[in-house]
């Protein structure tokens, strides 16, 4: 029997029916804390090879959760994270007890990544997916100069800055928030476009774009002012142009404990002082 989607349409899910105990893979980051947690969970619940898994438990912090999600993008496998790291916005609290029950009761959030299409000064084309954000960053001491085009129309002829980023709603509480960008609910269907230390125009604070927007960044004076592009953990240096759009053909499913879903966390983050 194939596993049902956890927590959907059932107020009191039947753990035995909803979770295939022999189809759960347990992955851990390289830290001693996460590795030890994996050993204990494996001893109690077993550990399926990831190639055969129908559900994944990811042990670590948000960085390892992103690494796990990238590893299985394109496969319809939900991921349930437990925090064994320093940052755990995408993670649930760690506990060794009732793992299969927690998986059965978990609620799903579907994340759509951004696709980065970067062209370098040598003409090389690099593509990568980002579940958090795509960012352009100056490489050296010179301020970057970047032209911003949205859906074929130049919106900002020249932005002088340390960088600029486009974030997913899920990633709006990460680097985007640190750069003073807005937090965006998952259901808002918009993408934050946020400058990083804008020098000119100094008062520009960014924009909210429809999720369907196609964004083009063009690096001006690229030899004098080299810029790198980063999509989550993929970095491309010496870019001359970077196109960013939401990829509608790929998705990742993240599982959360009841009443602790990603939408609730994003709302709660806006009231954190």
Q: What is the DSSP code (8-state) at residue 111?
A: E
Assign 125 to helix, strand or coil. strand
Write out pLDDT tens, residues 110-162: 999 999 999 999 999 999 999 999 999 999 999 999 999 999 999 999 999 99
CATH top-level class of 114-246: mainly beta
Cβ contact 167:174 at 8 Å: yes
Is 98 annotated in a binding site? The answer is no
Active site residue 62: yes
Write out pLDDT tens, residues 36-84: 999 999 999 999 999 999 999 999 999 999 999 999 998 889 999 999 9
CATH of 15-111+251-269, one of 1.10.3720.10, 3.30.2090.10, 3.10.20.740, 3.40.50.10330: 3.40.50.10330
Question: What pTM, to 2 d.p., does this model score?
Answer: 0.86
Using a pLDDT cut of 70, give the percent of the chain over it.
Answer: 92
* Residue 20's pLDDT band (cuts 50, 70, 90): low
Each domain of the chain, given as residue ranges in start order, spans 15-111+251-269, 114-246
Is 259 annotated in a binding site? The answer is no
pLDDT at residue 78 in the model: 96
pLDDT at residue 188 in the model: 87
Assign 223 to helix, strand or coil. coil
pLDDT at 215 over 50: yes
pLDDT at residue 19 in the model: 52
- Point out the catalytic residue in the list 62, 97, 247, 259: 62
Please state, in angstroms and rounded to a whole number, the distance separating the CA atoms of residues 93 and 90. 10
Is 170 annotated in a binding site? The answer is yes
Is 178 annotated in a binding site? The answer is yes
Average pLDDT, the chain: 90
Q: Say which residues have a Cβ less than 8 Å from residue 129's Cβ, sequence separation at least 6.
A: 70, 73, 113, 114, 115, 116, 231, 232, 247, 250
pLDDT at 85 over 70: yes
Write out pLDDT tens, residues 86-96: 878 899 999 99
Is 97 annotated in a binding site? The answer is no
pLDDT at residue 14 in the model: 38
């Amino acid at each position: 029997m194939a596993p049902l989607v956890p927590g959907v349409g059932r107020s009191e899910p039947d753990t035995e029916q909803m979770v295939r105990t022999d189809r759960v893979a347990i992955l851990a980051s390289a830290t001693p804390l996460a590795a030890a947690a994996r050993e204990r969970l494996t001893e109690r619940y077993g550990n399926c090879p990831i190639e055969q898994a129908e559900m994944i438990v990811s042990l670590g912090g948000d960085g390892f959760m992103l690494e796990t999600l990238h590893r299985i993008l394109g496969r319809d496998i939900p991921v349930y994270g437990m925090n064994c790291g320093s940052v755990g916005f995408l993670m649930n609290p760690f506990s060794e007890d009732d793992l299969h029950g927690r998986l059965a009761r978990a609620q799903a959030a579907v994340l759509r990544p951004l696709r980065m299409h970067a062209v370098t000064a040598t003409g090389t084309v690099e593509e990568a997916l980002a579940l958090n954000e795509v960012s352009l960053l100056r490489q050296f001491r010179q301020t970057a100069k970047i032209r911003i085009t949205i859906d074929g129309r130049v919106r900002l002829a020249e932005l002088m800055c340390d960088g600029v980023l486009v974030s997913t709603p899920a990633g709006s509480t990460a680097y985007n928030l640190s750069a003073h960008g807005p937090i965006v609910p998952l259901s808002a269907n918009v993408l934050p476009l946020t400058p990083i230390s804008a020098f000119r125009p100094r008062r520009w604070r960014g924009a909210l774009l429809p999720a369907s927007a196609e964004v083009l960044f063009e690096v001006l004076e690229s030899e004098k002012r080299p810029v790198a592009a980063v999509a989550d953990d993929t970095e491309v240096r010496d870019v001359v142009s970077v196109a960013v759009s939401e990829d509608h053909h790929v998705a990742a499913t993240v599982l959360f404990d009841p009443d602790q879903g990603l939408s609730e966390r994003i709302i709660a983050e806006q009231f954190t002082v």
